Amino acid sequence: MDRRRLGRTSFEITPVGLGCMQFSGRGLIEGFYPPLGQETVTAVVRTALDGGVSWFDTAEMYGRGHSERALTTALRALDVAPGQVVIASKWSPGLRRASSIGRTAGARREHLQGYPLDLHQIHMPYGGLSSLRSQVTAMARLCREGGIAAVGVSNFSARQMVLAEETLRSHGLTLASNQVQINLLTREVERNGVLETARRLGVTLIAYSPLRGGLLTGRFHEDPASLRSLPRVRRVLGRMTPRTVARTAPLVEGLREIALSHGVTVAQVALAWLITFYGDTVVAIPGASAPRHARESAGAMSVRLSPAQLRRIDELSRACGA
């Protein structure tokens, strides 16, 4: 299985990880995904591991630690020892000061149940009561004290990435990652300087929502009426409308043709394009609410698209306005 270096850290990760938002079980995330029982969570994690996935991304915000605990409960049940996989989590800055990063480190360790916090990320660059520089400095301090292994950010602009890198460098550290939305319908990183800056700084971009909330699976193109089955907040925030389905139909049809030539699914082609087109800079964290989703995502790492197919998908994506 191919591995990629996470930023300039010593961690080697697979191009596809597992996003664990669906493990939240409570709170705001329930508006997006229904709660999963621990048995299902364990089955999803087992399937991801069987498919070669070596790392998992969760967050404090995902059920106030419930996702972290569900993930590590599954790992323990599957006899995965601490250190055998890479775990990333995130600190939420909403109406909090930078000092809460150190204060909540104990809660992270408690919810992770003995598994190390390999990558700790600032969940967003807004909403905090302290400057970004203060937040990054607090992360650096936690890293220097051994509470975390590496520092990352999420949803940071190119300028904010540079600030984070400069701040960490003053403490003898480097920025490992920036988690941003990237998919065939969301390619702003190519225009706003984030991709170029990540390459220049040696930062890994972690693509969340790599299938645009399921739109790039082709499911809603086969059955547009199934959009109504989605929670309203997911439909509204994800702009999951019949008009969007119609606009993206040529892209999905092109993905379907390529998928048939490889004997794989539309979703696997979309993921394979994402982790190939940008080289080693971009990795992806599709979520999974059932084992079959994890199996499909892991299988995308084995799909080898030709240069001509990569160009064709790129053209179809741009024609959709991405």
Q: What is the pLDDT of residues 41-99, one digit of tens each?
A: 999 999 999 999 999 999 999 999 999 999 999 999 999 999 999 999 999 999 999 99
Question: Measured on CA atoms in the order 72, 78, 81, 86, is the torsion positive or negative?
Answer: negative
Q: What is the pLDDT of residues 243-278, one digit of tens each?
A: 888 899 999 999 999 999 999 999 999 999 999 999
CA dist 235 and 27 (Å) reads 18
Q: How confident is the model at residue 288 (pLDDT cuts 50, 70, 90)?
A: very high
Where are the chain's structural domains? 4-213+280-302
Contacts of 249 (CB under 8 A, 6+ apart): 221
Question: Residue 229 above 90 pLDDT?
Answer: no
Question: Residue 314 above 90 pLDDT?
Answer: yes
Verdict on whether the full-model pTM lies above 0.95: yes
DSSP codes, 111-140? HHTT----EEEE--SSS-SS-HHHHHHHHH
End-to-end CA distance of the chain: 30
The alpha helices in the chain, defined as continuous H runs, are 38-50, 66-77, 99-103, 105-112, 132-144, 158-169, 194-201, 219-222, 232-237, 242-247, 249-262, 266-277, 291-299, 307-319
Instruction: Tell the CATH superfamily of the 4-213+280-302 domain.
Output: NADP-dependent oxidoreductase domain (3.20.20.100)
Q: What is the pLDDT of residues 105-133, one digit of tens each?
A: 999 999 999 999 999 999 999 999 999 99
What pLDDT does residue 28 have?
A: 65
**Which residue do the tokens 């920025």 mark?**
175
Angle among Cα 252, 253, 254 to the nearest 5 degrees reads 90
Q: Average pLDDT, stretch 285-312?
A: 98
Contacts of 117 (CB under 8 A, 6+ apart): 87, 88, 89, 105, 108, 109, 147, 148, 149
**Lowest-pLDDT choice from 34-43, 230-239, 243-252:** 230-239
Q: Is 5 helix (H, G, I), strand (E, B) or coil?
A: strand
| Percent of the chain's residues with pLDDT above 70 | 98
Contacts of 64 (CB under 8 A, 6+ apart): 26, 27
CA dist 270 and 258 (Å) reads 10
Report yes or no: 116 and 108 within 8 Å, Cβ to Cβ: no
Q: How confident is the model at residue 198 (pLDDT cuts 50, 70, 90)?
A: very high
What pLDDT does residue 253 have?
A: 97
Q: How confident is the model at residue 224 (pLDDT cuts 50, 70, 90)?
A: confident
Question: Residue 236 above 90 pLDDT?
Answer: no
Q: Is 306 exposed, middle or buried (0-12, 13-18, 19+ CB in 10 A)?
A: exposed
CA dist 174 and 13 (Å) reads 17
